[in-house]
Amino acid sequence: MHNDIQSRFEVVRVGYLANRLLSNCDGPRKPVSTYFVCALVLEDCTARWLLLDLGLTSVNCGRLLDGRIQRAYSSEDSLLTITSDIQQRLTGARELAQSLGHSLVGTEHLLSVLIHERLPLADWALCLETDLVRLSFMVHRLRQAIDCMLTYPEYPTFETATKPGLEERLQALEKAERFEEASRLVWITRFHSALKSAS
């Protein structure tokens, strides 16, 4: 049971990162897609085998360990490009997922599209140091939230997340400058919600 939950979370967290970052870039050229590739490199997750389909390795798009950058490799030809056809499919996947009632449902659907449709994302990715810093910080937060939730089941569930008490608890943590705990609380609640919506 624990392994099944862990696998579900790994899919959700990588899919969530992909959905969020892929949706924050304009134009046909998508260097932000680098983050998705790097997330797969960084995470030892159920979707890691997708890297082989893409022809990418940790050496190709940078090495990140424990949230710290060791070294990033890049070249003039390393920008990852997404065609308008692929962009339409990604957009359709996100809209379909959001129509199901929860934005995080789209992350697993988006990841499924990438895997099963075998979208041609095999171009080399450009790894800028500032981008990798941002990515490593985000993934580190996701890891912390998941670890906390698996270790402390008394953290908020999907049902309690909608109650007024959660907002008050967050405000109290922020007022006490316990920002790390507040951040974990938010992420944990989101993942609880994602699991319930996807089940």
pLDDT over 70 (residue 172): yes
What range defines the domain where residue 178 resides?
2-198
How confident is the model over 1-39, as pLDDT tens digits? 334 444 444 444 445 544 544 444 444 333 334 445 444
Burial of 73 (0-12, 13-18, 19+ CB in 10 A): middle
Q: pTM (2 decimals)?
A: 0.23
pLDDT band at 186 (very low <50, low <70, confident <90, very high): low
- pLDDT mean over 60-81: 33
Q: What is the pLDDT of residue 175?
A: 72
Higher pLDDT, 20 or 183: 183
Instruction: Specify whether the backbone of 101 is left (phi greater than 0), alpha (psi in -120 to 50) or beta.
Output: left
Q: What is the pLDDT of residues 116-164, one digit of tens each?
A: 333 333 222 333 333 444 444 444 554 454 455 445 444 444 444 445 5
Distance CA 177, CA 6 (A): 30
Higher-confidence position of 185 and 141: 185
Q: Into how many domains does the chain fold?
A: 1
The pLDDT assigned to 13 comes to: 47
CA angle 137, 74, 117 (to 5 degrees): 75
Tell me how far apart the alpha carbons of residues 16 and 198 are, in angstroms, rounded to a whole number: 13
* DSSP notation for 143-180: HHHHHHHHH-TTS--HHHHTSHHHHHHHHHHHHTT-HH
Q: Is a pLDDT exceeding 70 seen at residue 74?
A: no
Closest CA to 109 of 95, 121, 130, 122: 95
Query: What own/partner pairs with CB < 8 Å and gap ≥ 24 does 43-51 have?
Result: 43/10, 43/13, 43/14, 43/139, 45/10, 45/11, 45/13, 45/14, 46/7, 46/10, 46/11, 47/10, 47/11, 47/14, 47/15, 47/111, 47/115, 50/114, 50/115
Per-residue pLDDT tens for 96-121? 444 433 333 334 434 443 333 333 33
pLDDT value for 176: 72
pLDDT at 169 over 60: yes
